[in-house]
Structure 1
Amino acid sequence: MSSWGKNNPDHAPKKSWSLGEAKGKLETYCAYQERCQWEVRRKLYEKGIKGDSAEELISEMISSDFLNEERFARSFARGKFRLRHWGKMRIARELKLRQISPACIRLGLSEIDPEEYYDMLLNQAEKKWEKTTEMEPTKKRYKVVAYLMAKGFEQDLVQEAVASVSSEQ
């Protein structure tokens, strides 16, 4: 959250929603992109709606199929893998942070094709290997491994990919 509003008295705080207007706004919010309950709950809290009224709105969104945790997990995993090039561990950690159930996390990760996953890992390893200016091979290898681990790829796959890339050089 920005502290800009606190330091600028002319800037009005975010407008809160009435219960009537919240349902329509939430439908638009959820129709724009897949959302999870945690994101919707956070949005409602931000707009001044808390407690039972927030939970009631969320259950209405679920029953009208605007909110679906499994659909969210699948979409999130596909998007973060293809666009951000995240590994499965990072995706799982982010989904867990959003309070997605372990079963939905497994379903989300099942969206990632294993061959495409390893190809992406090799591609990322090659790019990082080329960009790393370190001359000493051990340090260069360490930097590439650390980068790929931070992206959320599994250690055994990272070691395999870096060994493959470093042997080509």
Structure 2
Amino acid sequence: MLLTIRTDRPQDRKAKISIDNTLWGTLPNGVLLSLYPIPSEQEIDAAEFERLKRLLTERAYSLLLDYLAKQERSTWQCRQNLHKHGFHSGIIAECITTATEARYLDDERFAELLARSLAERRKSRVYAVNKFYEHKIPPATYEPFLGQYFRPQEQREWLLPQIEKLQNRYQALSPYEARTKIIASLYRKGYSLELIQSCLAASELDD
């Protein structure tokens, strides 16, 4: 197997490790210099490959724990973060599995925290679903939290103050133009047309 070690710039403090022209990840120069010169290219045997793979996995897992220590993350975010550091998909999968088994990484816990945060910020149910989709969270995981944090009555309570604010903003327009702009604005935020029209009707009755 051909081992290639290189840095993108002379001042870089970590080097890229490639085996047979496949990038496996990065290691700090201080770790590598006790084993190989930087840069270098040489043949290695299976035992050396396994030693390097173990070092890379330990490094990737350490970076993953640092990433998770800052705040709750989704599995997708963690995969993307390790991929950004250049780690091989096999190493990423192993680290994700280890962190999940240790409960450091939990998509169900992440989904509940995200749902609660979005509800506190008065986001729409559709907006929340799109956020879960961005994080690759399956419906079976997030749907219970939609029911818990995005109940229809609460959505109405969130929407009515927004309608009042928009009515004040567009009061110089004709009723038809104002209504059209209000509907368009709230629809872009992810509220359903049915809910918007219902709340508009209630608001107009109050007037």
Measured against the shorter chain, the TM-score band is 0.7 to 0.9
Match of 2:130 in 1: 93
For residue 117 of structure 2, what is the aligned residue in structure 1? Answer: 79
Matches of 2:163 and 2:184, distance apart in 1: 11
C-alpha deviation, 1:133, in angstroms: 4.8
Kept after mapping to 2: 8 A contact 1:70/1:108? no
Cα gap change, 1:168 to 1:42, in 2 (>3 Å)? same
What amino acid is aligned across from residue 31 of structure 1 in structure 2? A
Which residue identity is paired with 1:154?
A: S
For the aligned residue pairs, the C-alpha RMSD in angstroms reads 2.5
Q: Tell me whether 1:108 sits opposite 2:153 in the alignment.
A: no
Q: How many residues align?
A: 158
The whole-number CA distance in structure 2 between the counterparts of 1:48 and 1:112 is 38
Letter of the 1:116 counterpart:
E
Which structure has the larger Rg? 2
Task: Quote the residue 2:19 is aligned against.
Answer: none
Q: Give 1:117 deviation, angstroms.
A: 2.5
Aligned counterparts of 1:63 and 1:101: Cα–Cα separation in 2: 19
Of the three residues 16, 29, 38, the one matched with 2:67 is 29
Contact kept in structure 2, 1:76 and 1:108, CA below 8 Å: no
Q: Deviations over 1:115-143 (max 9, x none)?
A: 33221111222222222355111111111
The 5 Å alignment of 1:123-162 reads: 123-162=161-200
Q: Which residue of 1 aligns with 2:80?
A: 42
TM normalised by structure 1 equals 0.81
- Asked if 1 retains the 8 angstrom alpha-carbon contact of 2:119 and 2:150, the reply is no
Contact 1:17–1:49 under 8 Å retained in 2: yes
Q: CA deviation at 1:164?
A: 2.0
State whether residues 125 and 150 of structure 2, in contact with CA within 8 Å, keep that contact through their aligned partners in structure 1: no
Instruction: Tell me the SS of whatever aligns to 1:48.
Output: coil
Note the C-alpha offset of 1:39.
Answer: 0.7
- Partner in structure 2 of residue 61 of structure 1: 99
Structure showing the higher helix proportion among its residues: 1
Cα distance, 1:81 vs. partner? 2.3
- SS of the counterpart of 1:120? helix
Runs of 4+ in 1 over 4 A off after TM superposition: 14-17
Corresponding position of 1:5: none
Percent identity of equivalent pairs:
27
Please, which runs of 5 or more residues in structure 2 have no aligned partner? Answer: 1-8, 16-24, 28-55
2:32 match: none
Provide closer, same or farther for how the CA distance between residues 117 and 28 of structure 1 changes in structure 2, counting only shifts above 3 A. farther
